[in-house]
Amino acid sequence: MTVTGQRVLPGPGGLCQKGWTSAQLLNTPGRLTTPLIHGEPASWDEALDFVATKIKEYEPDQVAVFGGGGLTNEKAYLLGKFARVALKTSQIDYNGRFCMSSAAAAGNKAFGLDRGMPFPLADLRNADAVLLAGSNPAETMPPFMKHLTNAQLIVVDPRRTATAEMAALHLQPAPGTDLALALGLLHTAFINSAIDKQYVHERTTGFDAAWRVAAAWWPERVERVTGVSVQDQRAAVELLRGNAFILSGRGTEQHASGTDTVSAWINLALALGLPGRKYSGYGCLTGQGNGQGGREHGQKADQLPGYRKIDDPAAREHIKQVWGVDDLPGPGRSAYELLDALGQDIKTLLVFGSNPVVSAPRAKHITKRLESLDLLVVADFVLSETAAMADVVFPVTQWAEEDGTMTNLEGRIQRRTKALSAPEGVRSDLELINGLATRLGQPEERFPTEPEDVFTELRRASQGGAADYSGITYARLETEELHWPVPSEDHPGTPRLFLDRFAHPDGKARFVAVDHRGPAEPPDDEFPLYATTGRVLQHYQSGAQTRRIQELNQAVPEAFVEIHPDTAHRAGLEAGGTAKVVSRRGEMQAKVRCVSSMRPDVVFLPFHFPGDGRANVLTNPALDPTSRMPEFKVCAVRLEPA
Ligand X SMILES: Nc1nc2c(c(=O)[nH]1)N[C@H]1C(S)=C(S)[C@@H](COP(=O)(O)OP(=O)(O)OC[C@H]3O[C@@H](n4cnc5c(=O)[nH]c(N)nc54)[C@H](O)[C@@H]3O)O[C@H]1N2
Under the rule (CB under 6 A), what is the footprint of ligand X?
A: 4, 18, 68-71, 95, 98-99, 133-137, 139-141, 156-159, 161, 175-176, 178, 249-252, 254, 287-288, 352-356, 358-359, 379-382, 384, 396, 429, 532-535, 537, 539-542, 544-545, 604, 607, 615-616, 619, 632-634
Q: Which is nearer to ligand X, 135 or 494 (CB)?
A: 135
Q: Which is nearer to ligand X, 90 or 252 (CB)?
A: 252
Q: Which is nearer to Mo ion, 99 or 512 (CB)?
A: 99
Shortest CB 136 distance to ligand X, Å: 4
Tell me the window of 96-104, 112-120, 201-209, 615-623 that interacts with Mo ion (CB under 5 A): 96-104
The interface with Mo ion within residues 287-326 (CB under 5 A) comprises: 287
Do 228 and 222 touch, CB atoms closer than 8 A? yes
Q: Which is nearer to ligand X, 71 or 213 (CB)?
A: 71
Shortest CB 375 distance to Mo ion, Å: 27
Shortest CB 99 distance to Mo ion, Å: 3
Instruction: List all residues 6 or more positions away from 45 whose beta carbon is below 8 Å from its beta carbon.
Output: none
Q: Which is nearer to Mo ion, 101 or 108 (CB)?
A: 101
Do 273 and 199 touch, CB atoms closer than 8 A? yes
The interface with Mo ion within residues 261-290 (CB under 5 A) comprises: 287
Instruction: List all residues 6 or more positions away from 460 whose beta carbon is below 8 Å from its beta carbon.
Output: 322, 470
User: Cα(634)–Cα(361) distance, rounded to whole angstroms?
Assistant: 11
User: Cα(287)–Cα(277) distance, rounded to whole angstroms?
Assistant: 25
The dihedral sign for the CA sequence 497, 502, 504, 507: negative
Q: What does 433 bind: ligand X, Mo ion, none (CB cut-off 5 to 8 Å by kind)?
A: none
User: Cα(541)–Cα(561) distance, rounded to whole angstroms?
Assistant: 17
Shortest CB 535 distance to Mo ion, Å: 9
Residue nearest to Mo ion (CB): 287
Q: What does 118 bind: Mo ion, ligand X, none (CB cut-off 5 to 8 Å by kind)?
A: none
Q: Which is nearer to Mo ion, 139 or 196 (CB)?
A: 139
Q: Which is nearer to Mo ion, 541 or 583 (CB)?
A: 541
Shortest CB 414 distance to Mo ion, Å: 18
Shortest CB 500 distance to ligand X, Å: 31
Q: What does 639 bind: ligand X, Mo ion, none (CB cut-off 5 to 8 Å by kind)?
A: none
Q: Are strands 404-407 and 412-416 parallel, antiparallel or unpaired?
A: antiparallel
Shortest CB 339 distance to Mo ion, Å: 16
Reference 225, options 518, 567, 622, 528; nearest CA is 518
Task: Compute how many residues bind Mo ion; rule: CB under 5 A.
Answer: 2
Could you count the other beta carbons within 10 Å of the beta carbon of residue 491? 14
Q: What does 77 bind: Mo ion, ligand X, none (CB cut-off 5 to 8 Å by kind)?
A: none
Bond into 485 cis (ω within 30):
yes
Q: Which is nearer to Mo ion, 35 or 294 (CB)?
A: 294
User: Cα(186)–Cα(189) distance, rounded to whole angstroms?
Assistant: 5
Q: Which is nearer to Mo ion, 22 or 541 (CB)?
A: 541
Q: Which is nearer to ligand X, 63 or 264 (CB)?
A: 264
The interface with Mo ion within residues 190-209 (CB under 5 A) comprises: none
Could you count the other beta carbons within 10 Å of the beta carbon of residue 611? 12
Q: What does 336 bind: ligand X, Mo ion, none (CB cut-off 5 to 8 Å by kind)?
A: none
Q: What does 352 bind: ligand X, Mo ion, none (CB cut-off 5 to 8 Å by kind)?
A: ligand X
Q: Please tell me whether residue 99 binds Mo ion under the rule CB under 5 A.
A: yes
Tell me the window of 38-46, 98-106, 403-411, 559-567 that interacts with Mo ion (CB under 5 A): 98-106
Do 30 and 422 touch, CB atoms closer than 8 A? no
Shortest CB 481 distance to Mo ion, Å: 24
SS3 415: strand
| Mask for 439-478, x = binds Mo ion (CB under 5 A) | ----------------------------------------
Shortest CB 229 distance to ligand X, Å: 16
**What are the residues facing 506 on neighbouring strands?**
none
Q: Which is nearer to Mo ion, 112 or 287 (CB)?
A: 287
Q: What does 379 bind: Mo ion, ligand X, none (CB cut-off 5 to 8 Å by kind)?
A: ligand X
Shortest CB 121 distance to ligand X, Å: 15
b vs e for 521-538, b when ≥16 Cβ sit within 10 Å of the residue's Cβ?
A: bebeeebebbbbbbbbbb
Shortest CB 224 distance to ligand X, Å: 17
User: Cα(282)–Cα(486) distance, rounded to whole angstroms?
Assistant: 22
Reference 516, options 321, 165, 255; nearest CA is 255
Q: What does 178 bind: ligand X, Mo ion, none (CB cut-off 5 to 8 Å by kind)?
A: ligand X
* Three-state SS sequence of 254-314: CCCCHHHHHHHHHHHHHHCCCCCCCCCEEEECCCCCCCCHHHCCCCCCCEECCCEECCCHH
User: Cα(136)–Cα(18) distance, rounded to whole angstroms?
Assistant: 16
Q: Which is nearer to ligand X, 148 or 503 (CB)?
A: 148
Do 329 and 90 touch, CB atoms closer than 8 A? yes
Q: Which is nearer to Mo ion, 99 or 237 (CB)?
A: 99
User: Cα(6)–Cα(415) distance, rounded to whole angstroms?
Assistant: 9
Angle between helices 230-239 and 178-191 (to 10 degrees): 70
Angle between helices 313-323 and 451-462 (to 10 degrees): 150
Q: What does 564 bind: ligand X, Mo ion, none (CB cut-off 5 to 8 Å by kind)?
A: none
Instruction: List all residues 6 or more positions away from 525 whose beta carbon is below 8 Å from its beta carbon.
Output: none
User: Cα(538)–Cα(433) distance, rounded to whole angstroms?
Assistant: 32
Tell me the window of 94-102, 260-268, 298-306, 440-448 that interacts with Mo ion (CB under 5 A): 94-102
Angle between helices 258-271 and 178-191 (to 10 degrees): 20
Q: Which is nearer to ligand X, 35 or 465 (CB)?
A: 35
Q: Which is nearer to Mo ion, 21 or 292 (CB)?
A: 292
Shortest CB 98 distance to ligand X, Å: 4
Q: What does 67 bind: Mo ion, ligand X, none (CB cut-off 5 to 8 Å by kind)?
A: none
Shortest CB 15 distance to ligand X, Å: 12
User: Cα(50)–Cα(435) distance, rounded to whole angstroms?
Assistant: 12
b vs e for 362-376, b when ≥16 Cβ sit within 10 Å of the residue's Cβ?
A: bbbbbbebbeebebb
Q: What does 382 bind: ligand X, Mo ion, none (CB cut-off 5 to 8 Å by kind)?
A: ligand X
Shortest CB 95 distance to Mo ion, Å: 7
Do 242 and 278 touch, CB atoms closer than 8 A? no
Tell me the window of 97-105, 180-188, 344-352, 615-623 that interacts with Mo ion (CB under 5 A): 97-105
Binding site for Mo ion (CB under 5 A): 99, 287
